[in-house]
Structure 1
Amino acid sequence: MALVPLGDYLLDRLRELGIGHIFGVPGDYNLGFLDRILDHPDLEWVGNCNELNAAYAADGYARRRGAAALATTFGVGELSAVNGIAGSFAEQVPVLAITGMPASTAAASGAPLHHTLADGNYDHFGRMFQEVTAARETLTARAPTEQIDRLLRTMLSEKRPVHLNFPADLVALAVPAPEAPLLEAGEHSPDRPGLGAFLEHAARLLADSGSATVLAGHQIDRYGLAGAVRVLLESAPIRACVLSSARGTVAEDAPYFTGVYVGAFSDKATRAAVEDTDLLVLAGAQITDTVTGGFTHDFPVRRTIGLFDGYATVGHARYEGVTLGNALAGLTALFSGATDLRPLDGTATPDRRPEPAKGPLTQQSLWARVEAFLQPGEVLVAEQGTSFFAAQEITLPPDGSLIGQPLWGSIGYTLPATLGAQLAVPENRCVLVIGDGSLQLTAQALGTMARYGAAPVVIVVNNDGYTVERAIHGPTASYNDIGAWDYTALPTAFGAAHRSLAVRAQNGEELDAALAEARSNPDKLVLIEAVLDQDDSPELLTAICRRFAEQNNYGG
């Protein structure tokens, strides 16, 4: 029986999952494990400036690769990463958070070591992670490989982050090398008897329907089911819409695509396709405030079929234990026999912005150029707020996708997430649009991008503060102001002078020239500072922010 160090066992399992990079920050309790990463022939360590950036980067990586890992040290390091892990939990992104912790003997004795609370309890921080992870383990010498495998299987099956405490003295522990794949070929979660009952109920609802629309959500992406949704849509005359959290799961040049649904703020044809259809299929579509225009959606439960991770619904009836993939396959068979279905009239009619004049840049002229710039297969990354909502008003290119964080909405997330997404699939260039306020939270990621050869295009919207917050409340309040930075100087300040380009654009002509330069330098990090007026907001953002202000009821 071949023996390997326990650290190598974990790394081999991660490589088996398609993970090629591990993000993090060194600390004395994880240094032995980091040695194993450096010695591994198929893994690259990506050192970040702080643990929060590392967690964001791992999230972006997992969205493109299917899973990711980060490694931090005990206490001070892991707690810095908790916000990023919470975002992965909220948005169902599988990330392994590895904490290098003090030696098991020290933990057992309760010694008051550094990075502890000096009370002998070494489980404080693990319990903090418990609220934002699907499972957690502290490795022991008794059966550590079983602990690792169990944790990774949970991460993959639930599509959520998990937490692993790795004592420093166990990294070199000799354990048997893996004898079988983590996931056997064809392994899947079996359906309970609810699948048959669900399909029978769905068939009755379908028989009474003359039209149908599929509304896709982010779970389709997380479970890799975009292909299954395409088969469903091609099985019968059905309309398709997506929530803003699911851009790219349905081809936006397909004849059945009818737009991005944001409740009452949707395009007329999109709203009709979702709200006027006889039968609406919610395909992995979680209903939250940000993606439904502040809960302004309108579709009666009685004519809705819901497909989610682990259960399905028909009207008010819920069927437990039904996997999303099998529910989609079963519905496809039902729809294939629905010869009386007819598609609703109308297609999405996005506002095609006119070419801008030579005057100052506006949100409208900026996003017209972003849409024209994107090439097939490229990834648009849109920071929460102004950029994310503006992105819903443009069409993605063929095979394009969008990364955002509409539910968790942690500003600054997208800059490190772009690093992770770019390293995950380097052949598909990322184009990030991020506000100046958000960039200031995680700006160090620019240096990490250049250090590891990531070459996205980063468009910094310099509109002098938190425009999304101004649109919600306090348009002239000082708390929505930020410091004035020299954004084009940042790549040089972070050590990227020879691997980057940085330009400033104040009008359409200058932005055209900057984007042309970005296209002709695919191997360089390109930062474009786009200067806009602080009061210029996309229409969708303005409308939704008004709704959020009403919900928050600041006046009491």
Structure 2
Amino acid sequence: MADIATRELRQPIDIAEYLFRRLREVGIRSVHGVPGDYNLTALDYLPNCGLHWVGNCNELNAGYAADGYARVNGIAALVTTFGVGELSAINAIAGAYSEYVPIVHIVGQPHTRSQKDGMLLHHTLGNGNYNVFAGMYAGISTTMARLDETYDAATLIDNAIRECWIRSRPVYITLPTDMVTRKIEGERLKTPIDLSSPPNDPEKEDYVVDVVLKYLHAAKRPVILVDACAIRHRVLEEVHDLVEASGLPTFVAPMGKGAVNEAHKFYGGVYAGTGSNPGVRDQVESSDLILSIGAIKSDFNTAGFSYHTGQLNTIDFHSTYVRVRYSEYPEINMKGVLRKVIQGMGSIKSNPVHHISNQLSEQEQGSREQKITHAWLWPTFGQWLQENDVVITETGTANFGIWDTRFPSGVTAISQVLWGSIGYSVGACQGAALAAKEQGNRRTVLWVGDGSLQLTVQELSPMIRNNLNPIIFVICNEGYTIERFIHGWDASYNDIQTWDHQGLPVAFGATDKYKGYKVTTRDELTKLFANQDFCSAPFLQLVEVHMPREDAPAALRITAEAAASRNK
């Protein structure tokens, strides 16, 4: 018999169903995670809510996968169990918080009565404290929603999802076992969650726009520099229109790869201080005004803090403020400001852009060398890429090498430049490939080192289980190259056990829908790139790419030297 509170509801709905229907409403189609006894009942609701359960090998990988899914799809969901599960995922969620990736993290908890009584249940610390793990997550979640009562559950869910989207950062939702089936008002579902950002104060916004335009019109050599937060805070349409309307030379920071159409005539390449192509560096650092959009000036993103640009010549656009030279305007979102700058810009001074291509250097063109080097690989890879590909690069040589690749239009680039958790890319590849499949089977390509792969190789299994078809290139260069360049060139701790990489998918259950390759020369890789069956990515493919142990992109060498110097 329904209780009085339930009888008063117009459209009763279980809390778990309400939560999962809201996830689908904001565009989530697949949920990552690992089952555990405190979330099992909730997982039963997924199919009826139109959500697909991925089923990852462990929670850390699931968190990485949710991160990759969110970067392609726009937002993701992760379900873990209390204590052991959520702590296994905490590194991945910290990375998502660091890099502004929106993940709704749902934690199945013990019964509310068990928590109040301080029972010594499994997955606890044995001290009756059920708040300790939530406390750990408080610093890496933009919102905490504790679903301990029915009266505010719907409000907490809606607010958490909204904050996740608007702030573009993880949120933490607890779902105790007894709250899964509790009834709340389902009529709220008829009103979609408002995902729009709060509007800027019109008078303040207009003032900031006038200040920006004053300096822009006065500049003789202005440029645009786009970074990761332009992607995360969804101003790419404004960025595109700004580039078109202004005709200004436009560059990206490493974390901003993919934010700008790199096939555009005004695209000038990747700027990372001394790690930049010389022509790029000269044009950016000689400019008298930089329109910096969504910058994250971390060490790896600036090649060891090697920017040679001054704040006096910079206008910074962010999601919560705009800084014009040394004057900061808080509580101003860049989206509205950029749109009005475009509308009021008129004619401004612009200069020819330094041309960037995937053409090999003259030295490489004339070389008979057959070793696959980074100087040869990344421009060659750029020639092979297709429009709308998803490209994931692991922290290490691939992360820095991709700077020298000019993308076709529509390419999504995924890397973890700021957090830099080794092994991230394999889990992220699974999530990204799944989101790409949901979007019409965009081709997904991963570059990962042989050392990094060993941390998260289990995610090959969910790729196979979910019929995903990424192309995985494993750089085989005998261990942790980026670590060698920082410290311990010949140290045993930077060495790894050699694996049979081609055989790994077979060990995880891949049968007829898998093919492995091994390339040791430039001719072999060139021939593979020309293979149409390979290029069509009909199923999972893994390629061992053997490269010299001592070789690395120039930008990595510069950044590693800076890191080694700081570590001293």
- TM class, shorter-chain normalised? over 0.9
Q: What do the CA deviations read for 1:34-61 (whole angstroms, capped 9, x no partner)?
A: 1111343x21000000000000000000
Structure 1 stretch displaced more, 263-272 or 478-487: 263-272
Structure 2: distance between partners of 1:419 and 1:253: 27
Q: Quote the residue 1:88 is aligned against.
A: 96
Structure 1 stretch displaced more, 119-128 or 31-40: 31-40
Q: Quote the residue 1:450 is aligned against.
A: 464
Tell me if structure 1 keeps the 8 A contact 2:22–2:189.
Answer: no
Tell me if structure 1 keeps the 8 A contact 2:275–2:554.
Answer: no
Q: Quote the residue 2:309 is aligned against.
A: 299
Determine helix, strand or coil for the equivalent of 1:527: strand
CA drift at 1:345: 5.6
When residues 329 and 261 of structure 1 are mapped into structure 2, their CA distance, relative to the original with a 3 A threshold, is same
Structure 1 stretch displaced more, 199-208 or 285-294: 199-208
Structure 2: distance between partners of 1:250 and 1:269: 19
When residues 344 and 366 of structure 1 are mapped into structure 2, their CA distance, relative to the original with a 3 A threshold, is closer
Q: Quote the residue 2:115 is aligned against.
A: 107
Tell me if structure 1 keeps the 8 A contact 2:379–2:406.
Answer: no
Tell me if structure 2 keeps the 8 A contact 1:194–1:321.
Answer: no
Q: 1:498 aligns with which of 471, 496, 512?
A: 512
Q: What do the CA deviations read for 1:531-555 (whole angstroms, capped 9, x no partner)?
A: 11211112221222122212222xx
Determine helix, strand or coil for the equivalent of 2:321: strand
- The runs of 5 or more residues in structure 2 that have no matched partner are 1-9
Q: Quote the residue 1:221 is aligned against.
A: 231
Structure 2: distance between partners of 1:234 and 1:79: 46
Q: 1:234 aligns with which of 205, 219, 244?
A: 244
The amino acid across from 2:558 in the alignment is A
Tell me if structure 2 keeps the 8 A contact 1:457–1:518.
Answer: no
Q: Quote the residue 1:546 is aligned against.
A: 561
Determine helix, strand or coil for the equivalent of 1:326: helix
Matches within 5 A, 1:21-100: 21-40=30-49, 42-100=50-108
Q: Quote the residue 1:155 is aligned against.
A: 164
Q: Quote the residue 2:300 is aligned against.
A: 290
Structure 2: distance between partners of 1:289 and 1:359: 34
Q: CA RMSD in A?
A: 1.7
Q: Quote the residue 2:3 is aligned against.
A: none
Q: Quote the residue 2:394 is aligned against.
A: 383
Determine helix, strand or coil for the equivalent of 1:528: strand
Q: What do the CA deviations read for 1:304-348 (whole angstroms, capped 9, x no partner)?
A: 11100111010111111111211211221332x2x2413256333
CA drift at 1:230: 1.1
CA drift at 1:210: 1.8
* Identical residues among aligned pairs (%): 35
Structure 1: distance between partners of 2:209 and 2:322: 10
Tell me if structure 2 keeps the 8 A contact 1:384–1:405.
Answer: yes
CA drift at 1:237: 3.0
Structure 1 stretch displaced more, 354-363 or 283-292: 354-363
Q: Quote the residue 2:421 is aligned against.
A: 410
Structure 1 stretch displaced more, 16-25 or 354-363: 354-363
The answer on 1:472 being equivalent to 2:486 is: yes
The answer on 1:170 being equivalent to 2:184 is: no
When residues 53 and 517 of structure 1 are mapped into structure 2, their CA distance, relative to the original with a 3 A threshold, is farther
CA drift at 1:357: 4.3
Matches within 5 A, 1:64-463: 64-141=72-149, 142-177=151-186, 178-184=188-194, 187-192=196-201, 193-335=203-345, 337=346, 339-344=347-352, 346-348=354-356, 352-353=360-361, 354=364, 357=368, 359-426=370-437, 427-463=441-477
Q: What do the CA deviations read for 1:345-382 (whole angstroms, capped 9, x no partner)?
A: 63336662546747333233433442232111111111
Using structure 2 for the length normalisation, give the TM-score: 0.93
Q: Quote the residue 2:549 is aligned against.
A: 534
- Pairs aligned (count): 549
The amino acid across from 1:343 in the alignment is N
The amino acid across from 2:274 in the alignment is A
Determine helix, strand or coil for the equivalent of 1:364: helix
Tell me if structure 1 keeps the 8 A contact 2:103–2:164.
Answer: yes
Using structure 1 for the length normalisation, give the TM-score: 0.95
Structure 1: distance between partners of 2:249 and 2:96: 30
Tell me if structure 2 keeps the 8 A contact 1:311–1:322.
Answer: yes
Structure 2: distance between partners of 1:343 and 1:456: 40
When residues 535 and 428 of structure 1 are mapped into structure 2, their CA distance, relative to the original with a 3 A threshold, is same
- The runs of 5 or more residues in structure 1 that have no matched partner are none
Tell me if structure 2 keeps the 8 A contact 1:362–1:533.
Answer: yes
Q: What do the CA deviations read for 1:509-548 (whole angstroms, capped 9, x no partner)?
A: 3323444266355221000011112111122212221222
